[in-house]
Amino acid sequence: MKKIVLYHGSPDKVIVPQYGFGEEKHDYGKGFYLTEDIELAKEWAVCRPEETNGWVHKYELDTTELKILDLQQHDILAWLAELMKHRKADDSRRYKILSEKFIAKYGLDTTGYDIIKGWRANASYFYIAKEFVRDNIDMEILEELLSLGGLGIQYCLKSEKAFTRLNEVKDGLICVDYKEFNDRYNERDANARRNMRRLVDSDANKVTNVFSTLIER
């Protein structure tokens, strides 16, 4: 039996994780999202515009016999393809056509997995994604760009079996101060965007091995 401690940041004090709930437009689709990093969970609890304190819920997850897809073990393009299945980086017809081809070429079959583990796509990710699909970012700097974003790693519970293995630690509930941790979240995002812009504008970005050319390989 292997148990791991995970945290879920939310504006809600009372949460009942349920299989089949959640938004399809989240990073890995419908599911319940958690992280091992309590400080990131605090930021995620208050990253919305409503100026109210948030909550961090503490859980134990028994991963015994659970099938986990760890996107960190795969090419960065597989992660991007998974996000493209659920989140639009651009509304253009060009993006719609090319993203379908990109997913077909680099996407992974996630059916049968109980949990998907990988980076969280925050606001700074969308800056990268939009520039990438517009052919403004070379593949050679893509992973470095994402590391500058401080995205954090999240777990997404996908199967009914995974939900049965999740238990909330009753004395683990933490109230999160809105101002302190919303400021941290915004500062992290602003710093990430500055560092990303600097790299995108640097000579390291050759703009030759780009989104549209990756599909043609």
pLDDT less than 70: residues of the chain: 1, 217
Instruction: Determine the Cα–Cα distance for residues 162 and 186; give it in Å rounded to an integer.
Output: 32
Average pLDDT score over the chain:
91
Query: Helices marked H in the chain — which ranges?
Result: 38-45, 76-86, 93-106, 123-133, 139-148, 160-164, 178-200, 211-216
Rounded to 5 degrees, what are φ and ψ at 40?
-65, -40
The pLDDT assigned to 24 comes to 82
Instruction: Give the model's pLDDT for residue 159.
Output: 97
Q: pLDDT for 39-95, tens place per residue?
A: 999 999 999 888 999 999 999 999 999 999 999 999 889 998 998 898 877 788 888
pLDDT of residue 126: 73
pLDDT at 106: 95
pTM, 2 dp: 0.91
**pLDDT of amino acid 217:** 66
Task: Give dist(CA 45, CA 175) in Å, integer.
Answer: 9
Task: Tell me the two tokens of residue 157.
Answer: 């519970």
